[in-house]
Amino acid sequence: MNNLLEFFSFTNPTVRTVVLGTVLIAVCSSIVGTYTYLRKRSLVGDVVAHAIFPGICLGFVLSGSKNPIFLMLGAIAAGWIALVLMDAIVAKTKLKTDTAQAFILTFFFGLGTVFLAYIQKSGSAAQTGLHDFLLGKAANITQFDLAVFGVISLLLILLVLTYYKVFKLISFNEDYAASLGYNVKFYRFLLTTMTVVAVAVGIQAVGVVLMSALLITPAATARLWTHKLQHLMLIAGIFGALSGIFGAYVSYAAVNMPTGPWFVVFLTFFALLSIFIAPKNGILSKLKQKRINANKINRENVLKTFYNLMEHGAEQINTQLILEKRSFVPRVLEATLHKLKHQGLVQRKGNIYSLTEEGMVEAKRVVRLHRLWELYLTKRMNYKEDHIHGLAESMEHIITPEIEKDLLKELDYPTQDPHQSKIPY
């Protein structure tokens, strides 16, 4: 508990460095990753993340230190070599993209692991902690790292904002961009380089193994919340930042815990949460829509039954009469009647129910739609009369006023349905 307070009060300068560093890294990867995601290059991100591992080891061997600048240079070089090799494999051999990706990813990662084993055996004191690049250790972020990552992250974010329009165009429709005269190859190169750099920056906090999650998951999660690209980038950044703060906390509170896996746990938590509660696309809102539909169907069916009973001369309508005419679950019927009364469509005197004026209008509308659709099915779609009732039974709840207007026009304002019942207006 003390830990929690100390961490989230941000009074400790080490905590501030770690949190700021992680958040910057996370926001930057999430925003750059938005384009990786939109261009369907998710797996390329994974390849790059794994491929930079030997680069980091080499950077360490050549410079003899864990200075982030050397490690990053090694990482970026390795990432690029991997991508160039991958493209060459696809272009020059019969192998397909997925095969080339699997091949390059495993080869480079294997190479990195060999390098790491060699470095660890050499026994140099500086190498301790190099294996933290595998799964990430946000707590290791120093003031100097922060300065380096900060500058690079801000630069990347600035690039995305500068080229926002072009990146949008290229991600949506490369051929069209080329037809406008844009140098598509250059922008593709720029986007790929930005991805490589974002990955190289991120590995300190997340590690090479899980880095691609930080590129892809925030954007994929944000996609559930919005249809707008600006908002997508913003929301992805927020999810990334939140996961970053929690990841940094774990790294701070539990000394031997790697950050990357926790990062991914939090990201996935947000993703799952979004699958449930996101507007329109979320499971909850779909359930809600289902309930709204069911209620509408019940209400309209009850109103229609009133109309049918009255059409056959019934005057004193009670629940029993309704149930004889049409099967409802009695409890549902009670609830629906209650709701209709509340809405002023039905009135009640003792056990006798009747339609109000408004209720009558609504009941007529439902019956009218049913009969119009039956007529449409027989006249325009050549259905036999004994088939149409069931189809119209569901359509009456779906047809909108606009479609009703078209329907009336197309059928030339008919007065009788195929069963010779009057169509009420």
Partner 1 sequence: MISLEAHNLTVAYDKVPVLWDIDFELPTGKIIGIIGPNGSGKTTLLKTIMGLIKPASGYVKVFEQDLDEVRQRVAYVPQRESVDWDFPASVQDVVEMGRYRKNSLFRRLTQTDKEIVANAIEKVKLTAFKDRQISQLSGGQQQRVFIARALAQGADIFFMDEPFVGVDATTETAILDLLTTMRDEGKTVVIVHHDLQTVSGYFDHLVLLNTRVIACGPTAEVLTQENLSNAYGGQLTLLSKIQSIIKEKEFPIREKGFEKR
Give the residues lining the site for partner 1 (CB under 8 A).
38, 40, 162-163, 165-166, 168-169, 171-173, 175-176, 178-183, 223, 226-229, 232
Min dist. Cβ of residue 146 to partner 1 (A): 30
Beta partners for residue 348, in sequence order: 353
Alpha-carbon gap, residue 268 to 245, rounded angstroms: 15
Contact 91, 168 (CB under 8 A): no
Min dist. Cβ of residue 93 to partner 1 (A): 14
Alpha-carbon gap, residue 409 to 10, rounded angstroms: 69
Min dist. Cβ of residue 173 to partner 1 (A): 5
Alpha-carbon gap, residue 150 to 127, rounded angstroms: 24
* Three-class SS state of 353: strand
Full DSSP string of 8-61:
HTT-SHHHHHHHHHHHHHHHHHHHHHHHHHHTT-HHHHHHHHHHHHHHHHHHHH
Nearer to partner 1 (CB atom), residue 41 or residue 371: 41
Quote the DSSP letter at residue 123: T
Min dist. Cβ of residue 181 to partner 1 (A): 5
Q: 397 Cβ partners below 8 Å, 6+ apart?
A: 293, 296, 297, 300, 366
Where do we find the tokens 């990482």? 75
Nearer to partner 1 (CB atom), residue 175 or residue 315: 175
Nearer to partner 1 (CB atom), residue 90 or residue 360: 90
Nearer to partner 1 (CB atom), residue 148 or residue 156: 156
Nearer to partner 1 (CB atom), residue 34 or residue 301: 34
Nearer to partner 1 (CB atom), residue 103 or residue 163: 163
Alpha-carbon gap, residue 126 to 408, rounded angstroms: 83
Min dist. Cβ of residue 105 to partner 1 (A): 25
* Three-class SS state of 348: strand
Structure tokens at 315: 């005057």
Structure tokens at 306: 């009133």
* Three-class SS state of 187: helix
The CA-CA-CA angle for residues 142, 74, 150, to 5°, reads 35
Burial 346-376 (b: 16+ CB within 10 A, else e): beeeeeebebeeebbebbbbbbbbbbbbbbb
Q: Among 331, 25, 371, 373, which Cα is nearest to 200's?
A: 25
Nearer to partner 1 (CB atom), residue 138 or residue 166: 166
Min dist. Cβ of residue 405 to partner 1 (A): 16
Nearer to partner 1 (CB atom), residue 107 or residue 182: 182
Min dist. Cβ of residue 233 to partner 1 (A): 10
Nearer to partner 1 (CB atom), residue 182 or residue 269: 182
* Three-class SS state of 92: helix
Nearer to partner 1 (CB atom), residue 162 or residue 394: 162
**Single-letter code of the amino acid located at 378:** T
Min dist. Cβ of residue 400 to partner 1 (A): 14
Min dist. Cβ of residue 299 to partner 1 (A): 28
Min dist. Cβ of residue 217 to partner 1 (A): 16
